[in-house]
Structures are given as structure tokens and as C-alpha cells.
Structure 1
Amino acid sequence: MLQTTNVKSLQVGIKHKLMGVDADLRFSGIYPTTNAQACEKGWFCPYLFASARTPQIPRANDFAICQFFGPFLNGDYLMAHKLLSESVHTLSLCDPNPQTDIGTNRMVVVFTGISPYRGSMWSQSRRPGCGTIIFHLLDGCPALVLPVTNRAPICAWSPWTLSQMRTAQHAINPQVAGTGGYSAEWQHEQICEWLDTIVSVQHLSPAIQGRYVEVLGRSVSLVLNGALALDKCQPLLGKLDPERAGIVMFRY
């Protein structure tokens, strides 16, 4: 298993000409929430908010994956390229090079954290014409790349945060998968089941096509394990806010 020894912080700008529009969010794997006051599931919303796309997350329900379908900005694809190029390790189920046409889109899956442009106020990131936000990438958390169909969203995220992962790791009575609390097995199942609905099997590398379910499961495990191992690396994490860190997916 990879071990995080370095955290890279990237300040990125998302250029836009929007005046504040609603984000088109759709949810996969919906189930009733056990805590209507919980807000962790919206941990990645500031990315959309910063670029003038206002997200709305339901309090009554929880979900396996939050999917964003628009409005699209060119910066979304550039964000995927940046996350891929800055990741130290890449797990590729197809050719990951954005310059190579494989006949379909790809998606990069990565564990990351986000921070406001200045101070601790997200309103500072919502700048006119260019949302500015800081992404944190960890060298012990590999990026996963796979080909996807036209059903794939622009970006998506798993609702579980690093803070919830840590709480579960130190719990005396670990949560059982599917009971509302965090368990690594359940998150793994949620992500794999969702990716299975959008993966373009015909565009997978030939060596993987016949056993892609096994390879996909193992690859998602490596991404998750990299995040779970961060509990041993806390002095390195610096400004990484565990309540604003989790697994995201960007199409490119």
C-alpha cells in the first residue's frame, strides 16, 4: 500500500461568465437520512459555488454519489487534466493521456481536499469571472482513470469525508455497512456500483476487459486505502481540512 509522504497544494482558477445559476445535481443510491442536520455530504459543493453554480443538497435523503451535469465550463475538463497530471501515481484502465483520442471520454477518480482561496471563508473563492480554490493532492493516494460512456456526469463525489473515515476508524463499535454510518466496505461498494453503470467496457485496455470488475474493485480499494492510511500521516497534512476532503470524479 502506498504511504503519503508529501501533500501538494494547487491554487486553481475556474473561469466563467455566469451570474449565478442553479447547479444540475442528480443523486445515485438515494436512501433516507438518519440525521437531517448533517452537512458532510455536501463537502465538495464549494467547487461549484466558487464558479457561480449554486448547488442544493437535500437534507431528507442521503446518497451514494452526487453527480453534477451542468452548466459545463471548460475549466471542468482542465481541472481533470490538472488533477491527473499532478497525481504522483496513476491507476489506468485505459490510455490516460488527454491528448490521445480513445473514442470516448474518460474519468479520473481521486482523493483530494479543498480549501478557500483566502482565509476560511468560501465567499472569498467566488470571485467575479474566475472562481479560485485550493486543491490538496497526496502522493499516497493514486488517481484512477477509466473510460466512460455518455451517461457520465461532468463531475461527481462520494459524500463521505476524511473526518467521517477517521471517526469510524477509532470507533469502539464499527458501523455495519448500510446502517447510515461510515464503513469503508460500504463506500467501496457504492463507488464500484456507480462506476460500473458508466464505464465503457469496449474502451478498456484489452488486457483488462475480461476481468475489469476485479481490476476496478482493486483499483478503488487502492484509492480508498490511501485515504484511510492518512491517519498515520497527520503532521504532514498541514492545511488539509478533514471535513472538506474525500473522493471526487472528473470527466475529461
Structure 2
Amino acid sequence: MLQTTNVKSLQVGIKHKLMGVDADLRFEGIYPTRASQDCEKGWFCPYLFASARTPSVPRANDFSICQFFGPFLAGDYALAHKLLSESVHNLALCDANPQTDIGTNRMVILFTGISPFRANMWSTSRRPGCGTIIFHLLDGCPALIIPVTNKAPICAWSPWTLSQMRASQYAMNPQGPGTGGYSAEWHHEQICEWLDTIISVPHINPAIREKYVDVLGRSVSLVINGALALEKCKPLLGKLDAERAGIVMFRY
């Protein structure tokens, strides 16, 4: 287990020429919600909103993974490269270096938090021609890199936030789809099942290819456990908003 001792905040600019187009969002593992007013499942939407790609997340349903398929910006890949290079610890199932052509795309999966550009207002992040948003990276939360097929989205996120993960450590919430309760085991299952649909097995490091299911499962556990361990590091978290922090995936 890694322990978070430092939080790095990165101010990111996403250049674009868009005029408020709709974001193409698709949802995996849909089930009816029991909290239609809950908006935490769209915690990563401000990233798309800031870059003039307006997201729409349904209130009637919950889901295991939200996938974003367009419109694509060069800044999406550049951000993936930056998040990868700034992560202190990497868990790679293939060559993670963006400069190396492995014959397919890769995806970086990590826990992160986001904040508005200024004044604690998300509207300040949606600037003309260059959306600006702040990402928070924690040195105790490793980044996982896997090779992916052409089915992989530009980016995706898990709907569970740090605030929901924390609540589960203090209350005995009901578990399972549609109950509204968080479970680390269920979270792990949702992410692993989805990653298994997009991972490119032939491009996995040959040394672990035959046992990749076990390696992938253990790696996802380290990402989730890194986030759960943050409860012991509250004084270090600074401006990290627990309702705007969770696990995201970027293709590159």
C-alpha cells in the first residue's frame, strides 16, 4: 500500500474552437436510481463543460461507467500524457511511454480531483477558446496503464466520488445496484468488468499476458485502495473537493 504524502495541483488549459456542442456520452451498466436528485455521478462533467462540450447525465438512471466519445480535442491526449508524467507511481501492463508505438492506443486510469479555475465557480473554467481547470494528483494513488482496442472512449469516469467512498467507511450502507450504497468490492467489479471489454490482450506485456486478469484486478485494487486511504490524510488534501474527486480514464 502507498501512502499519500503530497498533493500536486496542475492548472490545465484545453484549447478548442467549439461553440457549445453536445458531448457524446454513453453509459455502461445502467440501472434505475433511488436518488433522482443526486448529481454526484456527473462529478467529472465540468471537464467537458469547460471545453465547450456540454454533457447531459440522466437523473432517472445510475450506471457503472460513463464514457465520452466526442467531439475529440488534441488537449484530451495531451492531458493524458501530462497526468501520466506527473503521476509518481505507475502500474503498467504495457509500455506506457507515449513516444513508443505499441500498435494500439493506451488508457491511463487514475484517481484525481478537479477544481474550478477561480472564485470556486465552474463558470470561470469555461473560457473562450481555452477551457481552464485544475487537476489534483495524489502521490499515494498510482496510475494504471493498459493497452486498449478501438472500442475505448476518449475518456471515461466512475460515478463514485471520494465523499461517497468516505461515507461507506462510517455507515453500514446497503450494497448493490439500485440501493444507493457504496461498496469497494462492487466498485472494483464495475471497473474491472468494463476494462475487460476494451483491453487489447495481444498488446499486454508478454510476461503477464496469460495472467492479465489477476494482474488487472490487483492493479485496480491499488487504485481504489489509494483513494480509500485518503481518509487518514485529510490535513494534506488542501483544496481537494471530495464531491469532485474520483477515478477517471483517458485514452492516449
TM-score band w.r.t. shorter chain: over 0.9
Q: Which amino acid in structure 2 is aligned with residue 190 of structure 1?
A: Q
- Aligned residue for 2:14? 14
- Aligned residue for 2:25? 25
Q: Which amino acid in structure 1 is aligned with residue 147 of structure 2?
A: P
Scaled by the length of structure 1, the TM-score of the pair is: 0.99
Unaligned runs of 5+ residues in structure 1 are none
Deviation string for 1:57-95 (max 9, x for gaps)?
000000000000000000000010000000000000000
Q: Does 1:133 align with 2:106?
A: no
CA distance in 1, matches of 2:40, 2:240: 15
Contact kept? 1:109, 1:143, Cα under 8 Å: yes
| Deviation at residue 181 of structure 1 after TM alignment | 1.4
- Aligned residue for 2:233? 233
CA distance in 2, matches of 1:3, 1:174: 26
| Deviation at residue 176 of structure 1 after TM alignment | 2.1
| Deviation at residue 208 of structure 1 after TM alignment | 1.2
CA distance in 1, matches of 2:175, 2:158: 18
Deviation string for 1:187-245 (max 9, x for gaps)?
10000000000000000000111001000000000000000000000000000000000
Give the CA RMSD over aligned residues: 0.6
CA distance in 2, matches of 1:208, 1:71: 34
CA distance in 2, matches of 1:6, 1:174: 30
| Deviation at residue 56 of structure 1 after TM alignment | 0.1
- More moved, 175-184 vs 69-78: 175-184
- Aligned residue for 1:160? 160
Q: Which amino acid in structure 2 is aligned with residue 155 of structure 1?
A: C
Contact kept? 1:8, 1:136, Cα under 8 Å: yes
| Deviation at residue 177 of structure 1 after TM alignment | 3.1
SS of structure 1 residue aligned to 2:19: coil
User: Percent of aligned positions with the same letter in both sequences?
Assistant: 82
SS of structure 2 residue aligned to 1:197: helix
**Equivalent residues in 2 for 1:77-226, closer than 5 Å:** 77-171=77-171, 173-178=172-177, 179-226=179-226
CA distance in 2, matches of 1:123, 1:152: 29
- Aligned residue for 1:59? 59
Contact kept? 1:104, 1:148, Cα under 8 Å: yes
- More moved, 174-183 vs 49-58: 174-183
SS of structure 1 residue aligned to 2:208: helix
CA distance in 2, matches of 1:80, 1:31: 30
CA distance in 2, matches of 1:245, 1:76: 18
- Aligned residue for 1:48? 48
Q: Does 1:244 align with 2:236?
A: no
Q: Which amino acid in structure 2 is aligned with residue 17 of structure 1?
A: K
- Aligned residue for 1:5? 5
Q: Which amino acid in structure 2 is aligned with residue 105 of structure 1?
A: N
| Deviation at residue 97 of structure 1 after TM alignment | 0.1
CA distance in 2, matches of 1:120, 1:56: 22
| Deviation at residue 175 of structure 1 after TM alignment | 2.9
| Deviation at residue 170 of structure 1 after TM alignment | 0.7
CA distance in 1, matches of 2:176, 2:29: 14
SS of structure 1 residue aligned to 2:160: coil
| Deviation at residue 119 of structure 1 after TM alignment | 1.5
Q: Which amino acid in structure 2 is aligned with residue 46 of structure 1?
A: P
CA distance in 2, matches of 1:164, 1:175: 13
CA distance in 1, matches of 2:173, 2:25: 31
